[in-house]
């Protein structure tokens, strides 16, 4: 699922008139804190007709209960998002993601917010 149903009620999705599509975007950074994770993602305007230009967003995941991620050397190549999917499960919401190189990760959390990164 490339359009993320879990993000429909977020502030950015309301501003855009619907959730953005993350397929073929780039994972720029993951920030892990005590109980939240922030994924900074560049979403591409060519697969998002609501966007005038490529846009960097923060996918903020609250009350993180589990995290698993494996990747090759980040310093040489960008993590191109091939698939990003949310599933509601008994323990919360599970975000599963996969790169174009087949690298996979997942995060289990309870709540989500999506916001645009201010580049001014």
How far apart (Å, rounded) are the C-alpha atoms in residues 101 and 98? 8
Exposure of 119 by Cβ count < 10 A (0-12 exposed, 13-18 middle, 19+ buried)?
exposed
What confidence category does residue 76 fall into, taking pLDDT thresholds of 50, 70 and 90? low
Question: pLDDT at position 51, please?
Answer: 84
Quick one: pLDDT band at residue 108, thresholds 50, 70, 90?
very high
Global pTM? Answer: 0.79
Cα 119 to Cα 35: distance, rounded to the nearest angstrom:
26
Per-residue pLDDT tens digits for 26-72: 888 889 988 899 999 998 888 888 788 898 989 999 999 998 987 66
Average pLDDT of the residues in 106-112:
92
CA distances in angstroms from 11 to 14, 65, 104, 108, listed in the order given: 5, 24, 27, 21
């Amino acid at each position: 699922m490339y359009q993320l149903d879990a993000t429909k009620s977020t502030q950015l999705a309301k501003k855009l008139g619907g959730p953005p599509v993350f397929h073929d975007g780039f994972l720029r950074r993951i920030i892990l804190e005590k109980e939240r994770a922030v994924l900074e993602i560049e979403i591409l305007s060519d697969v998002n007709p609501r966007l005038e230009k490529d846009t960097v967003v923060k996918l903020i995941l609250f009350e993180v209960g589990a995290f698993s991620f494996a990747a090759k050397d980040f310093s040489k190549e960008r993590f191109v998002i091939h698939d990003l999917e949310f599933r509601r499960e008994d323990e919360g919401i599970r975000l599963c993601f996969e790169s174009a190189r087949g690298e996979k990760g997942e995060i289990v959390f309870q709540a989500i917010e999506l916001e645009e990164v201010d580049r001014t």
